[in-house]
Amino acid sequence: MTDKFLRCLRFVLKWEGGLSNDPADRGGLTKWGVTQATYDRYRTAKGLLLQSVAKLTDAEMREIYWHYYWLPVKADEFAYPLALALFDTGVNMGTVTAIRLLQRAINDLLPQQKWVAVDGVLGEQTLKAAKNLDAKRLALKLCDRREERYYAIVRANPTQRKFLRGWLNRLNDLRRSIQQP
C-alpha cells in the first residue's frame, strides 16, 4: 500500500467512519463504509468464515479498500488530486460508475474528435487522455459530474433525498482537498 493510498484513505474514512445501519441506505449494515456484501465477498475470497461486518478489523478494511477500490480505478497511475477524487468516487458510487464519470469529465475537457468511450473500463485510451490533462482541473470536473449524478439519483428515487446534504458536504470537502497543495 502506497503513501498516496494511505493519504487518500484518510479522507475517505473521515466520511465513512463507524458502524451504520440506516434502513434507507441501500448499502445496509456498514463499518468504515464497507458493506456486509463486500465483506462477505472479501472473506469468501480469503477462504474465511462469513461474519458480521461489525467485526471488520482495521487491517481488513485497508485491504478491502486497496483491492476493491484503489486498484480497480488504477489510482496510483494518477497525480494526487485526481487519485483522491477517483478513489473517493469509487468508494461512494462504485468503481465502474467512478470510471464512467471520469470518462465523461475527460470528454468535457477535450474536443469531440478526441473523446474517450464512456464504457466504465479504465483502458489505455482513458489513461492516456486523463494523464494529458491537468490533474486538478480533471479532478474538479469529476466532482461536477459526481454532483450531477447525486441529483439524478434523487430525481429517480426521492427517498434518497435524505442523503443529499451529506453527499454534497462530502463532495465540497473533496473539492477543498483537491484545491490544497
User: Which of 74, 42, 86, 45 is CA-nearest to residue 61?
Assistant: 42
* 30: helix, strand or coil: strand
Q: Indicate where the chain has its CATH 1.20.141.10 domain(s).
A: 78-181
Pairing, β 34-35 against β 30-31? antiparallel
Sheet-wide strand order for 30-31: 19-20, 30-31, 34-35
Q: What is the pLDDT of residues 45-104, one digit of tens each?
A: 999 999 999 999 999 999 999 999 999 999 999 999 999 999 999 999 999 999 999 999
Instruction: Say yes or no to pLDDT of 18 above 90.
Output: no
Predicted TM-score (pTM) of this structure: 0.93
Grid cell in block for residue 156: 429517480
What's the grid cell of residue 162?
A: 435524505
CA angle 62, 122, 40 (to 5 degrees): 35
As its CATH architecture, domain 78-181 has Up-down Bundle (1.20)
